[in-house]
Structure 1
Amino acid sequence: MPIRRRRQDEESDSTLEQAGEQADAVETDDAPAGEAGGAAGPWDSGDSYPELERLDFGSIQVPVGPGLGFQVNFEATEVDAEGNPLNGRPVSVLVQHAESVLQVQAFAAPKRSGIWDDIRRETATEITEQAGGQAEDREGPFGTELLAMLPAQLTEEVLNEMPPEVREQIPQEVIEQGYAWQPIRFIGVDGPRWFLQGVVQGAAIEDEEQWQVLEDVFRNIVVLRGEQPMPPRELLPLTLPKEFSEAAGEQQEEGGSDTFDPFERGPEITEVR
């Protein structure tokens, strides 16, 4: 019997609804509004916030805990003649837990108005009109968030890079159609002259236990806006914590290299306690 392949937009409507139901199942009943400064974080550096062990990334301080791994994404600021990156700046912090990842970024915002509503609408438009996905607003523990479904291409190269146990779990029908729907959850909080965004991927979309760990991390982030004037939406500068410098030094000693390439994987801190 031939397999009927549904159109991407037809299939994504159903998949998005299922993902939304799963996301709704992990929300808490006492969801605060999507603004900082209340009884729960994220926190401004001027707030009275809980004293926790945190990694200092300059503009944001991220809590650590058992089972958490941390990595930093870099953006190229200089390339060679072939387009290979030479220098870069840190642009986001990745918090890893089990099969889940939370990407965190902080931006400058106006004094008297938030930017999350506009960013959320623009992100939804890009997903639906440019990426061929689906997106819709949902109420979450930090206020209104965005739940999206993006078509992830399953090329032979992608499939070959997957661990065998992961590839075996993909239905043959999905492999034949050449793409799989990837759920992504966008959360945002407007603070005093800053905006904090989190992007959640992986099992935490459906797994309540994994989501709770990442939610607690995001809720306990402290943002240090600084007094310097910055245009709205400009990324707040990130720096590497001393723990990352120590990890990079260990990598150089083990690998026999005197230089650190930020565009290679790492430095990485795992199982921070």
Structure 2
Amino acid sequence: MFGRFKREERDADQLDDEVVEQELATEPADADAEEEQDDRDEWERLDASRDWRQDGPFDISEVDLEADDVERLDFGCVVLTPFDGMQMQLQVDQRTKKVQAALVMAGPSAIEIALFAAPAQTSMVADIRAEMVAATEKAGGKVSLVEGPFGTEVRRIIPMKDPKGNRVFHVSRTWFAQGPRWLLRGVLMGEAGQASGIDGVSELLYEFFSNTVVRRDQQPRVPGDLIPMTLPASMVKSAPGGDTAPEQAKG
């Protein structure tokens, strides 16, 4: 879709650096790396096994949005690519006009997009995942981890009550993609939240999440803090939603 030469050039430079590092590596360093690998659980090893963002989501430094004529929705820190029939609901702070999250719907399925600050050098996904597991179990729900399209996928079933007091269950799948000092979270709900893999009802939302481009500002932030989106001027007057408090990355 958009140009990706910047990502390819960066990867080539990174590969050259890795070759030099390997030539200079010593046996103690290799032993330390092996020990560190052993300390990880299977899901951390899965997340570290390859570049799960090879096909997106992308950092703004990795793509050229001017390489095509696609009309996108620019929310400041994230740029979204709409698709035919897409519907969107926004959680907006009416005082600051900042978007806390975007809920994108495709028929009976939906994905909630939110962006958070992350460390520059280390992954915070394992810690967030542990918090999600603990919170789900505390709520009396069920949680399972599976290999997803972006590494470890968190699947949850949480008991709730509807407005009439009836017992219902909230079923979801959560994807995480961590880039340079940012973490993008996608929570699938509806039919896609109950499905497996990225075929069928999940395919369109998978492509939407993959095509997301993150434009992280240089403002210092605590890892895990929500990075609010900026409401496009064309949407300010008609945006739905009310005052909402910033949520945490674990969701």
What TM bracket, shorter-length normalisation? 0.5 to 0.7
Determine if contact 1:35/1:191 at 8 Å carries over to the other structure. no
Alignment of 1:46-125 (within 5 A): 46-48=61-63, 51=68, 52-75=70-93, 89-125=98-134
Structure 2 residue aligned with 1:139: 147
SS of corresponding position for 2:89 = strand
Q: In the TM superposition, what is the alpha-carbon distance from 1:217 to its structure 2 partner?
A: 0.4
The change in CA–CA distance for 1:101 and 1:33 in structure 2 (over 3 A counts) is farther
Say if 2:169 is the partner of 1:196: no
Structure 2 residue aligned with 1:149: 157
Structure 2 residue aligned with 1:186: 174
Give me the whole-angstrom Cα distance separating, in 2, the residues matched to 1:246 and 1:210: 32
SS of corresponding position for 1:65 = coil
The one-letter amino acid paired with 1:244 is: M
The change in CA–CA distance for 1:209 and 1:238 in structure 2 (over 3 A counts) is same
Q: In the TM superposition, what is the alpha-carbon distance from 1:48 to its structure 2 partner?
A: 2.2
Give me the whole-angstrom Cα distance separating, in 1, the residues matched to 2:103 and 2:231: 13
SS of corresponding position for 2:183 = strand
Say if 2:44 is the partner of 1:42: no
The change in CA–CA distance for 1:53 and 1:88 in structure 2 (over 3 A counts) is closer
Determine if contact 1:114/1:195 at 8 Å carries over to the other structure. no
**Quick one: percent identity of the two aligned structures?**
31
SS of corresponding position for 1:46 = helix
Give me the whole-angstrom Cα distance separating, in 2, the residues matched to 1:227 and 1:89: 17
Q: In the TM superposition, what is the alpha-carbon distance from 1:118 to its structure 2 partner?
A: 1.0
Alignment counterpart, residue 230 of structure 2, candidates 216, 234, 239: 239
SS of corresponding position for 2:62 = coil
Give me the whole-angstrom Cα distance separating, in 1, the residues matched to 2:104 and 2:238: 16
Q: Compute the TM-score of the two structures, normalised by the length of structure 2.
A: 0.68
SS of corresponding position for 1:67 = coil
User: Runs of 5+ in structure 2 lacking a partner?
Assistant: 1-48, 244-251
Give me the whole-angstrom Cα distance separating, in 2, the residues matched to 1:76 and 1:132: 34
Q: In the TM superposition, what is the alpha-carbon distance from 1:106 to its structure 2 partner?
A: 0.8
Q: Which has the higher contact order (CA 8 A, sep 6+)?
A: 1
Q: In the TM superposition, what is the alpha-carbon distance from 1:152 to its structure 2 partner?
A: 2.5
Query: What count of residue pairs does the alignment treat as equivalent?
Result: 189
Give me the whole-angstrom Cα distance separating, in 2, the residues matched to 1:239 and 1:184: 26
Alignment counterpart, residue 201 of structure 2, candidates 207, 210, 217: 210
The one-letter amino acid paired with 1:144 is: T
Determine if contact 1:34/1:143 at 8 Å carries over to the other structure. no
Q: Alpha carbon RMSD of aligned pairs, Å?
A: 2.4
Q: In the TM superposition, what is the alpha-carbon distance from 1:105 to its structure 2 partner?
A: 0.7
Determine if contact 1:42/1:218 at 8 Å carries over to the other structure. yes
Give me the whole-angstrom Cα distance separating, in 2, the residues matched to 1:35 and 1:191: 10
Q: In the TM superposition, what is the alpha-carbon distance from 1:98 to its structure 2 partner?
A: 0.3
